[in-house]
């Protein structure tokens, strides 16, 4: 898996945390205690922000899990490329885990990076106007879409995957730095199980139920079984 050591933190945590920690040590030796305290606290924040905890991934068929940690801020009917469906938007505050996960098992058929603005992630326009990575995921039930969206402070969306790769439900796919938003779009047949104001966890909270149609289940049984067999209880992939 790229980008992180499971159960610890992503590699960016070392890049952002070690320099202020070392500078804090130097400041302490020079008896610049206020500066030392500030730098050490900054390092602790970086280590905490980039933490990457393990998650227990739901195993029930048809479960669509949250792409990220945070609070549900939008649940609405919405068309995507002229297809009727539903969108769930989740706001990630700076204290939330920012590692993002795949909402379902399948193949990433398309991944678009869209440059844009850095509006506050709580704002409705952020889903359309902000910098974002848009993933189109083909599953046994059909096609869904999820987005990594940069916020006012977050200035970079990072993906560890590319088009054509297969992913498991709950598998780590990337992160957004320092406060952000994730969106999930599913077709109208899916049943949304969350409401505005709920707190969710990436990879473990079920946002929707989207059963595989009988015909699709028969055609995709072997590939689905293989994917499920490779999925561990924590979402770790070999």
Separation CA 137–CA 139 (nearest Å) = 6
CA 67 to mean position of chain CA atoms: 4
Count how many Cα atoms sit within 13 Å of the Cα of residue 73 in the half-sphere of its side chain: 21
Q: Is 180 a catalytic residue?
A: yes
DSSP code string of 160-182: S--TT-EE-TT-EEEEESSSEEE
- Active site residue: 89, 102, 180, 204, which one? 180
Q: How many CA atoms within 13 Å lie on the side-chain side of 226?
A: 8
Torsion angle defined by CA atoms of residues 160, 163, 167 and 169, in that order, rounded to the nearest 10 degrees: 90
DSSP lists the bridge partners of residue 176 as 157
* Distance of alpha carbon 145 from alpha carbon 154, whole angstroms: 21
What is the set of active-site residues?
180
């Amino acid at each position: 898996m790229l980008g992180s050591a499971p159960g610890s933190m992503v590699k960016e945590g070392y890049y952002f945390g070690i320099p202020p920690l070392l500078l804090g040590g130097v400041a302490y030796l020079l008896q610049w205690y206020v500066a030392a305290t500030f730098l050490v606290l900054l390092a602790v924040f970086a280590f905490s922000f980039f933490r990457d905890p393990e998650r227990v991934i739901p195993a029930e068929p048809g479960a669509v899990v949250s792409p990220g940690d945070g609070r549900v801020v939008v649940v609405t009917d919405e068309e995507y490329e002229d297809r009727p469906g539903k969108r769930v938007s989740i706001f990630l505050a700076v204290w939330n885990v920012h590692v993002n996960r795949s909402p379902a098992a399948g193949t990433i058929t398309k991944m678009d990076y869209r440059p844009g603005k850095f509006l506050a992630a709580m704002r409705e326009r952020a889903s359309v106007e902000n910098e974002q990575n848009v993933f189109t995921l083909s599953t046994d039930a059909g096609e869904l879409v999820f987005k990594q969206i940069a916020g006012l402070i977050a200035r970079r969306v990072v993906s560890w995957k590319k088009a054509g790769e297969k992913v498991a439900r709950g598998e780590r796919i990337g992160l957004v730095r320092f406060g952000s938003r994730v969106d999930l779009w599913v077709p109208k047949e899916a049943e949304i199980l969350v409401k505005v104001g709920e707190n969710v966890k990436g990879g473990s909270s079920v946002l929707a139920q989207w059963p595989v149609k009988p015909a699709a289940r028969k055609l995709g049984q072997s590939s689905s079984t293989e994917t499920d067999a490779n999925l561990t209880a924590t979402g770790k992939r070999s």
